[in-house]
Structure 1
Amino acid sequence: MNLRHLFIAFSVVWLAGCATSPASYDAPLKPITRAHTGTSKVASLESNNDLWERIRKGFAIPDLEHDLVDAQEQWYGSRPDYIDRMTTRSSKYLYHIVEELEQRNMPTELALLPYIESAFNPQAVSSAKAAGMWQFMPATGSYFDLTQNAFRDDRRDVLASTRAALDYLEKLHRMFGDWHLALAAYNWGEGSVGRAIKRNEKQGQGTSYVELSMPNETRNYVPKLQAVKNIIADPEKFNIELPNIENHPYFQAVDIKRDMDVELVARLADVRLEDFKALNPSFHRPTIFAGGTTQILLPWDNAKVFQRNFAAYNDGQYASWTVWVAPSTMTVANAAQRVGMSEADLRSVNRIPPRMMIKSGSALMVPRTSQHLSDVSSHIADHGTLAFAPEITEVTRRTPVKVRKGDTMAKVASRNGVTVANLARWNDIKTTAKLSAGQSLDIYKTVKIQAAGVNNKKSAPTKQVRSTVVTKKAADTKVAQKSKGGTPTKKKR
């Protein structure tokens, strides 16, 4: 059978299958009904370049209607310049937060929480030492694996702190089953909210957010978020103009494999130093140590610029600074001499307070030299601490002593460990002077004391700088003390 015959045979069969039976002409017409897909995983064909609209569509927390919300709306609504600064600052971080929330199927209102916590300032520090745009206390940050050491503070890190904050919020929502209570616990601590709920239950009262007794800061916390949510939902109602934020990543993570100066990274990426620090706010030293930090964040278009320039960089030295670990407790002057720095420079770079000695094992930033060319180890980069002990200084003190019956100058001097000549000189008398019982003589001795402002005890207390690592064990101890097994209280102001 040739090709023409095959085609004719196929056409006959196909037409026979398409033919409509006579009965079908007599059947009544039925309206076409809307079909429903069997899965929700079909990608939307809608193109939305406005991140604000994407956030609005993800709102899922029940609205709180309360007089306190009205008051907060008035406060924010009367400050359009403040709203503009906050929202403009947030444009670097919002896309990432929304992406993380959607992947976890969490309400997108939570992307607005840093407006309440820190006005989206990753360098913000509260009076209670909560840090970063999500405002983690040191112990809570450690509980959620946010490294805090001599070289970086991950409570300020954009990726790490967002991950930790959403982990915490998910945990609180599972605990209380209510987003308003979860938010109250984020601010006040789950132990405090749990006890407030038990008090109300014991008294036969309701246990919703508005029915619990709580501090004023927590009482206003959810109303603040609701007010910001209302403004984002309908900015025209409040005469607010939101900046345009594209529905596109602002930054990209780039791997680093060498210790590098912060200024060099910014130069190779062709970004301003302040812009680099805004995306990488956890670094508080002039050099990034690859052993502890494997990635940096760069503006989307600058990531490839950095990679291209890094590949072409041929100066051979990427870092001007390295880390030297003090082998014993020593003075700052002694340490400076060992590493070839001036005492003033060593103090400045490592923020060493006055009247303090460097404790053994402290990790100090020092210039990279021919003796220190290798990159810092991952152990030091992740666990390096900087600890101080009060300086021991010598002072001369006057102590009056009473002459006993039968005492001579020689006996008084011997009993107090001084020479007869000095005893005579201090009291302006002869070495052969006769003494009377009850007579007062002055003795001068040199004694060692700790630096001013530190308790002078047998065991001198160590002063740890804020950047010292808070261990998991220490965080767990605070858990037991504050929350009876829960997460440490996030903050108290």
Structure 2
Amino acid sequence: MPPFRLKPLFLTTLMSLSGLSYAEPVLVASNTVTKEISIPEAIPAATNLHSLAFKPDDSPEIQEADLWNRIRQGYGIPNLDNSLVTSQLNWYSARTDYILRTTERASRYLYHVVEELEKRGMPTELALLPFIESAFNPQAMSTAKASGMWQFIPSTGRDFNLKQNMFKDERRGVLDSTDAALNYLQKLYDMFGDWQLALAAYNWGEGSVQRAIKKQQAAGLPIDFDSMSYLMPKETQNYVPKLQAVKNIISNPEFFNIALPKVDNQPYFASVDKTRDIDVRVAAQLAELTVAEFKQLNPQFNRPVITGNADTKILLPADNVEIYKYNLSKWEGPLSSWTAYTVGKNERIESIARRVGAQASVLKDVNQVPSNMMVKAGSTLLIPKSSQSADNDISQRVVDNASLTMTHDNTRKINVTASKKDSLTALAKRYKVSTAQIKEWNNLKSDTLKTGQKLQIEVAAAPSRRKNTRVAAISTPKKAIAVNKQTKKITVAQNKTHKQPG
């Protein structure tokens, strides 16, 4: 990122109007090192920056057209003023490219989030929280397995009724995850009566915040976020300051020489009910979108087919809804090319592929099965539809209960040449497999073998032999053993020459 300067003329005017002195700030950023910003000396912290922030235009035309202005109007969380806010403000404002990428991505989802916040009477700066959680990437996944725009871990997602199965993960769904996140944040606010503590609990866990409060109360100390943050892990200490920093930048982007992308104060997307199975590829084609564009609004679907029922919805850009409906009315091809298959025994994908008449590479890819794994009995796989199943959708019972479990493939293939005396039965007995398996592995239609016929048979891999490893002798301290002749008590003392580790 190239170095840049904040606008001296803008800041000089701002300082003079505010009665403050001006120290020209220079912001320097690079890919490896970010130098601290020199902010005006008379503005010591983020709260003061916020007090100088852009005041929303009161004209109805601006308020109606500008979603950023609508967010600013709804701020309701008290401002935080400490050195961590200044540090986070320095970090974010030094990365204008990052801010612009994130706000551009956010523009698809912000209207919906703001609408939901206002319906519930919640502070609108909470709409900026995904900026901190995921950079507004609904497909984000953390090392702790938190997923989606609002970063729900699996257990908390289930607590808030976000379905997670083979076909979809509602933690990534724009509508479902936003509803769950706002429900959770409201619950935390009702619990603590303080939005900053509610945010800390969203990051750290409600139990952790409750224990911190009890510790503060026992010591007769205040229980606000700023007073308690020393008890919190570093991530949580910085969590609320990060939101405050982003809030300040959104409040007055000009101060930081940032031009926010325009976000219209109107819905970006609309939902369409889907009651039949449809391939992601087909849905995108009907909406005249690329698959990537379609997935930006529908990231919850894990597989290339969207299973249909009364609750299934897909999101489309508002301008594409009528296009989708029109193209769907004219569509004559199949909507879905996939069906479900239940695995009866532990089996390799190659064997299943031969049975269902599909390519093994296709099944591995669509079901995300690594090459060295076998699919366990009871698992559900997606396989291409046959002519017999072309009009059948995957049942809701299968969707709700579908799972895919795997185990390491402990088989190996051997090549066998049939002799005059060999038969399928004899080979099956010799290699401890079934005749049906040999026929399947080799696409045999007949039970008769020809002399010299080449066959492949899968057998259990021999257990690996562990190599003899040489263990270095570990020296032990010499011990002095003393026996008390009267008490017969034995005392074992370490040799003084051996120093024990401290």
Structure 1 stretches lacking a partner, 5+ long: 1-43, 396-445, 453-493
Contact 2:274 2:309 in 1 (8 A): no
Q: How many pairs does the alignment contain?
A: 358
SS of the residue 2:299 aligns to: coil
1:381 aligned residue: 399
| TM-score, length basis structure 1 | 0.69
Q: CA deviation at 1:331?
A: 2.8
Q: Does structure 1 residue 50 correspond to structure 2 residue 66?
A: yes
1:178 aligned residue: 194
Query: 2:104 is matched with which residue: 71, 88, 104?
Result: 88
Q: Does structure 1 residue 194 correspond to structure 2 residue 210?
A: yes
Q: 1:166 to 1:280 in 2, by over 3 A?
A: same
Residues 255-264 or 222-231, more deviating: 255-264
1:128 aligned residue: 144
User: Pairwise mapping of residues 341-356 of structure 1 onto structure 2 (< 5 A)?
Assistant: 341-356=358-373
Q: CA deviation at 1:332?
A: 2.4
Q: Does structure 1 residue 149 correspond to structure 2 residue 149?
A: no
User: Pairwise mapping of residues 84-483 of structure 1 onto structure 2 (< 5 A)?
Assistant: 84-212=100-228, 213-291=231-309, 294-315=312-333, 317-373=334-390, 374-393=392-411
Give CA deviations for 1:178-198 in whole Å, capped at 9, x if unaligned.
000000000011111111111
Q: Does structure 1 residue 64 correspond to structure 2 residue 80?
A: yes
Distance, in Å, in 1 between the alignment partners of 2:270 and 2:412 is: 56
Give CA deviations for 1:21-76 in whole Å, capped at 9, x if unaligned.
xxxxxxxxxxxxxxxxxxxxxxx977611000100110000111111111111111
Distance, in Å, in 2 between the alignment partners of 1:157 and 1:447 is: 43
1:193 counterpart letter in structure 2: V
Distance, in Å, in 2 between the alignment partners of 1:450 and 1:353 is: 21
Distance, in Å, in 1 between the alignment partners of 2:464 and 2:268 is: 49
Contact 2:273 2:310 in 1 (8 A): no
1:355 counterpart letter in structure 2: N
Q: CA deviation at 1:447?
A: 8.0
1:296 counterpart letter in structure 2: I
2:295 counterpart letter in structure 1: K
Give CA deviations for 1:280-331 in whole Å, capped at 9, x if unaligned.
011121111114861100000101110111011122x111112112233333
| TM-score, length basis structure 2 | 0.68
1:481 aligned residue: none
Give CA deviations for 1:141-177 in whole Å, capped at 9, x if unaligned.
1111111111211111000000010011011111111
Q: 1:62 to 1:143 in 2, by over 3 A?
A: same
Q: CA deviation at 1:450?
A: 7.8
SS of the residue 1:127 aligns to: coil
**Considering only CA atoms, is the larger Rg found in Structure 1 or Structure 2?**
1
1:490 aligned residue: none
2:134 counterpart letter in structure 1: S
Distance, in Å, in 2 between the alignment partners of 1:161 and 1:150 is: 17
1:328 counterpart letter in structure 2: K
Residues 229-238 or 197-206, more deviating: 197-206
SS of the residue 2:286 aligns to: helix
Distance, in Å, in 2 between the alignment partners of 1:344 and 1:183 is: 45
SS of the residue 2:64 aligns to: coil
Distance, in Å, in 1 between the alignment partners of 2:184 and 2:357 is: 46
Query: 2:92 is matched with which residue: 76, 87, 94?
Result: 76
1:194 counterpart letter in structure 2: Q
Residues 292-301 or 305-314, more deviating: 292-301
Distance, in Å, in 1 between the alignment partners of 2:317 and 2:104 is: 15
1:258 counterpart letter in structure 2: R
Q: 1:450 to 1:59 in 2, by over 3 A?
A: farther
TM-align CA RMSD? 2.1
1:420 aligned residue: none
Q: 1:330 to 1:302 in 2, by over 3 A?
A: same
Distance, in Å, in 1 between the alignment partners of 2:370 and 2:76 is: 49
Q: 1:371 to 1:328 in 2, by over 3 A?
A: farther
More contact order relative to length (CA 8 Å, sep ≥ 6): 1
Distance, in Å, in 2 between the alignment partners of 1:308 and 1:343 is: 36
Contact 1:122 1:281 in 2 (8 A): yes
1:155 counterpart letter in structure 2: R
Distance, in Å, in 2 between the alignment partners of 1:59 and 1:241 is: 20
Residues 186-195 or 265-274, more deviating: 265-274
Contact 2:272 2:313 in 1 (8 A): yes
2:408 counterpart letter in structure 1: P
2:232 counterpart letter in structure 1: M
1:50 counterpart letter in structure 2: D
Distance, in Å, in 2 between the alignment partners of 1:312 and 1:448 is: 54
Distance, in Å, in 2 between the alignment partners of 1:232 and 1:82 is: 14
SS of the residue 1:389 aligns to: strand
Contact 1:291 1:377 in 2 (8 A): no
Distance, in Å, in 1 between the alignment partners of 2:247 and 2:261 is: 15
Give CA deviations for 1:240-275 in whole Å, capped at 9, x if unaligned.
111110000000000112211111111111122211
Q: CA deviation at 1:394?
A: 7.7
Contact 1:355 1:391 in 2 (8 A): yes
SS of the residue 2:332 aligns to: coil
SS of the residue 1:185 aligns to: helix
SS of the residue 2:65 aligns to: coil
Contact 1:93 1:250 in 2 (8 A): yes
SS of the residue 1:283 aligns to: coil
Distance, in Å, in 1 between the alignment partners of 2:395 and 2:463 is: 34
Structure 2 stretches lacking a partner, 5+ long: 1-58, 414-458, 466-502
Distance, in Å, in 1 between the alignment partners of 2:305 and 2:152 is: 24
Q: CA deviation at 1:347?
A: 1.6
